[in-house]
Amino acid sequence: MTTRSSGFSLIELLVVVAILGILSAVGIVSYQGYISGTKQKSAENTMLQIALAQTEEYSNSGDYYTQGDTCNPKSINSDLIETTLFGGGDVITEDVGYEMCIQEVGTNYKVIASNEKKTITMTANGIWTGK
């Protein structure tokens, strides 16, 4: 006499759960990569906006706005950039996750953006490092 079972065995269910766990782990890692890439691209766009504002500042005052020979990208420096170059507009948003500063390099400048994992720089001539 043979009996037929219409359900799944415990081993089959464990295999399915293990496969779903592996797929979700891969998906989460991939999603985090997309998020960090998007934040970096947003920081780069903000740096380009700063470069445009620097051009306007140079036209108005004859000099670029800088924060000294050395600078550390911190919240206070980002706020000063927004106040000085953008009239207080919220250009460097917290969602991006990068803080910025503008370093004096001779008669030019360098924009530095940094978060806990990465630092990106852009010179006045548009040369990027850390991309």
pLDDT 10s digits, 53-106? 999 999 999 999 999 999 999 999 999 999 999 998 889 988 889 999 999 999
For the chain, give the mean pLDDT.
92
98 contacts 28 by C-beta, under 8 angstroms: no
Say what the pLDDT of residue 2 is: 67
Say what the pLDDT of residue 120 is: 96
The alpha carbon of 13 is separated from its chain's Cα centroid by a whole number of angstroms, namely 41
pTM over 0.85: no
Query: Which of helix, strand or coil describes residue 105?
Result: strand
Residues with Cβ < 8 Å from 23, sequence gap 6 or more? none
Burial class (CB in 10 A: 0-12, 13-18, 19+), 101: buried
Domain spans of the chain, in order of start: 10-129
